[in-house]
């Protein structure tokens, strides 16, 4: 099954990773989120758990070893084409993650990455859902042990 015009929703995972009061954001090169800021993550592969998927995706995208701590939220990402047909449909499970080791280095699918202070997120054009997930993850982080790089 291809990613465009799928017969069923595709399961994806995302990682919310903090460094002090900044969150790790990536700008993707490829659709459907090309040239927009997002969190690291990707599609769950056959035979892979969601935790295995997020660990693999962050390692592939940025070279970071992480530990997924908690599920923050589950997001529906449904993008129709100009005629109203569903071009993309993802169900994305976002995790609060702790970075264990490594320094982020963007792979070939990522244009750039930043650690953006939480008080400066409004100027980046983040979706409402992504802002909500980051804020929720930050609140979870404050109620538990340190989740920093």
Q: Dihedral, CA atoms, 135, 35, 8, 40, nearest 10 degrees?
A: -50
CA distance 104 to 62: 5
- Residue found under tokens 């758990």: 49
Residues 75, 10 contacting (CB under 8 angstroms)? no
Q: How far apart are CA 148 and CA 66, in angstroms?
A: 10
Given the residues 20, 65, 112, 148, the one annotated as active site: 112
Condensed to tens digits (0 to 9), the pLDDT of residues 12-40 reads 999 999 998 999 999 988 877 888 999 99
CB 4 within 8 A of CB 87: yes
> Do residues 23 and 121 lie in contact, with contact meaning Cβ atoms separated by under 8 Å?
yes
Instruction: Divide the 149 residues of the chain into consecutive groups of 10 and give the mean pLDDT of each group.
Output: 88 96 93 88 97 97 95 95 95 96 87 94 91 95 63
pTM: 0.91
* Ordered DSSP codes for 12-58: EEEEEEEETTEEEEEEESSTTSBTSEE-SEEEPPTT--HHHHHHHHH
* Residue 135 annotated in active site: no
Instruction: Check residue 63 and give its pLDDT.
Output: 94
Q: How far is CA 30 from the centre of its chain?
A: 14
Which class would CATH give 10-142? Answer: alpha beta
């Amino acid at each position: 099954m291809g990613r465009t015009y799928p017969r069923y929703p595709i399961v994806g995972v995302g990682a919310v990773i903090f460094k002090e009061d900044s969150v790790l954001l990536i700008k993707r090169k490829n659709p459907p989120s090309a040239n927009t800021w997002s969190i690291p993550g990707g599609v769950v592969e056959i035979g892979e758990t969601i935790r295995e998927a997020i660990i693999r995706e962050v390692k592939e995208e940025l070279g970071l070893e992480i530990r997924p701590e908690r599920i923050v939220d589950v997001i529906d990402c449904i993008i129709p084409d100009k005629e109203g047909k569903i071009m993309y449909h993802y169900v994305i499970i976002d995790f609060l993650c702790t970075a264990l080791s490594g320094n982020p280095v963007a792979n070939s699918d990522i244009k750039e990455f930043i650690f953006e202070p939480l008080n400066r997120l409004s100027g980046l054009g983040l979706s409402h859902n992504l802002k909500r997930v980051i804020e929720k993850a930050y609140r979870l982080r404050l109620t538990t042990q340190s989740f920093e790089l």
